[in-house]
Structure 1
Amino acid sequence: MTSWRDKSAKVQVKESELPSSIPAQTGLTFNIWYNKWSQGFAGNTRFVSPFALQPQLHSGKTRGDNDGQLFFCLFFAKGMCCLGPKCEYLHHIPDEEDIGKLALRTEVLDCFGREKFADYREDMGGIGSFRKKNKTLYVGGIDGALNSKHLKPAQIESRIRFVFSRLGDIDRIRYVESKNCGFVKFKYQANAEFAKEAMSNQTLLLPSDKEWDDRREGTGLLVKWANEDPDPAAQKRLQEELKLESLNMMVHLINNNTNSAGTEVNNKNNERLDRTFPEASVDNVKKRLLPLDNGMESDDFIEKLKKVKKNISRENISSKPSVGKLGGPLLDYLSSDED
């Protein structure tokens, strides 16, 4: 299978095919800040998007890869980028290398470079919160996404798995028949952020279905952030996963050159870290990536890793500012101690 690194990104749509940025009038006053009409009946705003991301076909190298861009193209995720290889943002599915770079750069921007908020919206939509790591998506609107096509629960779960697994490594998927909704948990939060935008208002129908030609008559998937699982066992499992992810990011930090000044500077940083925090040396960190009963839950060790990560983040941020789509510098935020 050809890697996206071996080809240029595809132009997904022509500029002339893009819809107007102003939605159809449903009220008396148009709010330019929220880009929607008010003082009227909004009606059913759910729809099946005419654009869809095809990862294998559309992914490829862009100008953003050559410029060292960290963030992904939101329009690419929605299947509607008209720039292709000329785009300043990345056009591929976030992988472990991308996730490591994003984690070291900032905790308050999502994978598209948008600022997160302190709290989730009441409807659990939107960009998300920087206070908690959420890798689980709620998937609703399944009946509308299937155009009321009758399928068995196992078939519905299989389709959810098929369309979401193309967008990153999945930890767990659960379909709740009584509620006709599903939950998709990704291995990394960046993939959840990407999938939330890519799968919103998409259909679950396949080209082999007889209803495929009428898919635009459906209402599309409703993809939101999932609420936190109150089950104590799930809470404990989440804490263990966060600790493991922190350790994996630390290994990535030590083994890879994330400093734009070059490998020599990075090696000096690693030598200094080994002297200051012997526990954070490459060999010792890798030993910590053993099962949890082998010292994984050492709180002191986790805190030291966070301090190391924060120190290196400061050095990397001062070395090279990131550039936003409008050409101005984006604000760089250090990682929170609560991550």
Structure 2
Amino acid sequence: MSLNGTETAVVPVPTKKAKTKKLRPARKQVKPGDVERKETPQTGKEYNIWYNKWAGGDREDSYSNKIKSQTRCNVKLDSGLTRANTTGMKYCCLFFSRGCCPYGWECEYLHTLPDPSTALPDSSKDCFARDKFADYRDDMGGVGSFNRQNRTLYVGRIKETGTGLETEEVVRRHFKEFGEIEHDDSETGWAVKVLQYRSVAFVTYKSELHAQFAKEAMACQSLDNDEILNVRWATEDPNPVSKVNEKRRLEEMGQAVIREKMDPKVVDAMRTIRALEDGDVLDADGNLIENSTMDADEEEEEEDEGVDRGTKRRKLDVYEEISTPPPPEEETPKSIGLLSADTMDSLKYFSEIRKRNGILPPTALRAAPQKTSAGLGLGDYGSDEDD
């Protein structure tokens, strides 16, 4: 209703709906027969299937012997739904990462980047379902090792056309397509290190699965120039600070996984039992309430991280023993003569029993007989009755 008395229609304003990204069926990256299979030229006498090169020739394949990859994966265009999305397969397609899968939506493996939040069925396999080994190869190539979580890639044979920061930007731009790169305290804020004038770079991802995918996707590829990259696993960082940080990160990840697997009711029950053992008080939410009656020494001990719970319990027991005075000792009767006090008490007890039962005292305590004559009493000495 308007001011002039005429009715006006109210037009509802459409609200914006959140866009949900839907995957379309994966496209076929290549057609059968498009990719020509080119074998590396023979540089030795025997072919080593472990290192995937000829042995007995040069110590290392020269730069000219490397063949540039004919295809490359484009994650935005090539990602899509496959049969693996309906069958429950958790592993990615190896040929999809290399950009040469001819099956597309008919593939039995995933055509997407690996999801770090989804755990693989077998930890001894990589994201492509290939078996890992106990040790790395001498050239740090291949699938990798299951004894160490490696998230860093070694990228060699880079053509540097500018400063170190410019080269680092080029490397990061090409490698960030295949996963999220780790942050650090460097000038750029990214864990991409370039060794200037040595044509070497190190790229660290947040997830090992992304590092596995990027290693296959960028192998024998090129950056902005016409180079052929040599992508390998990086060796362990000898910096002690990095080792401590990596150990702390793995421990936090393990604790987070265990916390998710446990029942919250069991966690609350364990927290309550521990509080009862330590003498702490918890509120309704399970948080610790500081006890005002605690001594200052005990508070300092709790603030100290190096004191374990067992030590605190022993100290509390000692404090309770000191605070409660010992009971007064009963006065023990002193011994009289040759007999002890216990022996005298026993004799008194038995004498009372004899008196109650009407038993005469022993012969030693009887009265002496009266004498009839006041003579010498010779008969008393030579009498046969007396012994």
Aligned position for 1:10:
27
Change in 2 beyond 3 A, CA 1:183/1:27: closer
Note the alpha carbon deviations across 1:153-200, whole angstroms, 9 max, x for none.
222111111111111111011112143211111101111111111111
SS in structure 2 at match of 1:142: coil
Q: Are 2:250 and 1:239 aligned?
A: no
- 1:16 deviation in Å? 0.9
Distance in 2 separating the partners of 1:192 and 1:278: 40
Q: Within 5 Å, give how 1:181-330 maps onto structure 2.
A: 181-205=200-224, 215=226, 218=227, 220-250=228-258, 254=261, 271=263, 274-275=265-266
Give the drift of 1:152: 2.4
Q: Which residue in the other structure is 2:119 paired with? A: 101
User: Residues 26 and 38 of structure 1 are in contact (CA less than 8 Å); yes or no, is this contact kept in structure 2?
Assistant: no
Q: Which has the higher relative contact order, 1 or 2, with Cα contacts under 8 A spaced 6 or more apart? A: 1
- One-letter code aligned to 2:166: Q
Aligned partner letter, 1:86: E
Question: How much has 1:247 moved relative to structure 2?
Answer: 3.5
CA distance in 2, matches of 1:249, 1:225: 26
Which residue in 2 is equivalent to 1:155?
A: 166
Question: How far, CA to CA, are the matches of 2:270 and 2:203 in structure 1?
Answer: 35
Distance change in 2, residues 1:180/1:33 (3 Å): closer
Please say if 1:124 is aligned against 2:128: no
Deviations 1:188-222 (CA, angstroms, capped at 9, x unpaired): 111111111111111101xxxxx6xxx4xx4x111
One-letter identity of the residue aligned with 2:99: G
Please give the alpha-carbon distance, in whole angstroms, between the structure 2 residues aligned to 1:4 and 1:80.
25
Distance in 2 between residues matched to 1:184 and 1:170, nearest whole Å: 7
Contact kept in structure 2, 1:141 and 1:222, CA below 8 Å: yes
Aligned to 1:264: none
3-state SS of the aligned residue for 1:238?
helix
The 3-state SS of whatever aligns with 1:184 is: strand
The letter of the residue matching 2:231 is V
Distance 2:178 2:252 in 1: 22
Determine if contact 1:23/1:36 at 8 Å carries over to the other structure: no
* Structure 1 CA distance for aligned equivalents of residues 213 and 269 of structure 2: 36
Structure 1 vs Structure 2: percent identity of aligned residues?
Answer: 33
- Which among 90, 99, 102 is matched to residue 110 of structure 2? 90
Q: TM-score, normalised by structure 2?
A: 0.56
Indicate the SS of the match to 1:139: strand
Residue deviations 1:17-39 (CA, integer Å, cap 9, x gap): 1233x725526877595665566
Aligned counterparts of 1:40 and 1:122: Cα–Cα separation in 2: 17
Q: Distance in 1 between matches of 2:56 and 2:250?
A: 45
Task: Please identify the structure whose Cα radius of gyration is greater.
Answer: 2
Mapped partners of 2:24, 2:43: distance in 1: 46
**Partner Cα separation in structure 1 for residue 217 and residue 26 of structure 2:** 17
Tell me the equivalent position of 2:86: 66
Q: Which amino acid aligns with 1:9?
A: A
Separation in 1 of the partners of 2:31 and 2:46? 27
Paired residues of 1:4 and 1:61 also in contact (CA < 8 A):
no
Q: Which residue of 2 aligns with 1:164?
A: 175
Distance in 2 of aligned mates of 1:65 and 1:83: 15
Separation in structure 1 between the aligned mates of residue 114 and residue 35 of structure 2, nearest angstrom: 25
8 Å contact 1:175–1:183 — kept in the other structure? yes
RMSD over aligned CA atoms reads: 3.0
Q: Which amino acid aligns with 2:209?
A: A
- Corresponding letter in the other structure for 2:215: K
The separation in 2 between residues aligned to 1:55 and 1:61, in whole angstroms, is 13
- Structure 2: runs of 5+ lacking an equivalent: 1-17, 183-190, 272-286, 288-387
User: Measured at CA, do residues 277 and 110 of structure 1 come closer, stay the same or move farther in structure 2, by a change above 3 Å?
Assistant: farther
Residue 245 (structure 1) shift: 2.4
d(CA) in 2 for partners of 1:107, 1:14? 34
Q: How far apart are the structure 1 equivalents of 2:232 and 2:174?
A: 16
Q: How far apart, in 1, do the equivalents of 2:134 and 2:268 lie?
A: 32
> Structure 1 residues 27 and 95 mapped into 2: Cα distance closer, same or farther (>3 Å)?
same
1:17 is paired with a residue whose SS is: coil
Count of aligned residue pairs for this structure pair: 243
Secondary structure of the corresponding residue to residue 153 of structure 2: strand
3-state SS of paired residue (1:15): coil
Q: Find the counterpart in structure 1 of residue 336 from structure 2.
A: none
Q: What is the letter of the counterpart of residue 14 of structure 1?
A: K
Pairing partner for 1:48 from 68, 86, 94: 68
